A and B are shown apart, each in its own frame.
Chain A
Amino acid sequence: MQIKLKVFRYLPHTGKKPHYDTYEMEVDPNDRVLDVLEQVRADSDPSLGYRRSCAHGVCGSDAMRINGRNMLACKVLVKDLNSTQITVEPILGLKVLRDLIVDMEPFFDHFRSVMPYFVNDDPIPEDGKERLQSPAQRDRFDDTTKCILCAACTTSCPSFWANGKYVGPAAIVNAHRFIFDSRDTAAAERLEVLNEDSGVWRCRTAFNCTEACPRDIEITKAIAEVKQVIYSGKIE
Chain B
Amino acid sequence: MSNLKTTMTGYASYRGREGHYSFLLHRITGLGTALFLIIHILDTSFVYFFPDLYQHAINLYRSTLFGIAEVGLVFCVFFHGVNGLRVAFFDLIAPRLWSVPKQRFSTKITLLITLLMWIPASAIMLYNMLYHNFGWFGG
Contacts and interface: CB of A to CB of B under 8 A. Distances in A.
Interface range, B side = 20 to 34
Contacts of B87: 205
B98 A218 contact: yes
A68 B6 CA distance: 14
Given A92-B6, A218-B98, A208 B103 contact: no
Interface in B3-28: 3, 6-7, 9-11, 13-20, 22-23
Chain B contact surface mostly: helix
A204 B23 contact: yes
B33 to A, nearest CB: 16
A67 interface: yes
Contact of A69 (B11, B14, B100, B103): B14
Contacts of B22: 206-207
Interface in A63-109: 65, 67-69, 92-93
B14 A156 contact: yes
A158 B7 contact: yes
A65 B10 CA distance: 11
B19 A206 contact: yes
B90 interface: yes
A210 to B, nearest CB: 6
Contacts of A205: 19, 23, 87, 90-91, 98
Contact of B15 (A69, A162, A221): A69
A224 B87 CA distance: 11
A164 interface: yes
A68 B16 CA distance: 8
Contacts of A207: 16-20, 22-23, 98, 103
A161 B6 contact: yes
Interface string B94-138: 011011100100000000000000000000000000000000000
Contact of B3 (A65, A161, A227): A161
B103 A92 contact: no
Nearest to A224: B95
Nearest to A67: B15
A227 B20 CA distance: 21
Nearest to B10: A161
- Which are the 10 A-B pairs with shortest beta-carbon distances? A207-B19, A68-B15, A224-B95, A206-B23, A221-B98, A220-B98, A161-B10, A161-B7, A162-B7, A69-B15
Interface of A: 65, 67-69, 92-93, 156, 158, 161-164, 204-208, 210-211, 218, 220-221, 224-225, 227-228
Interface of B: 3, 6-7, 9-11, 13-20, 22-23, 87, 90-92, 95-96, 98-100, 103
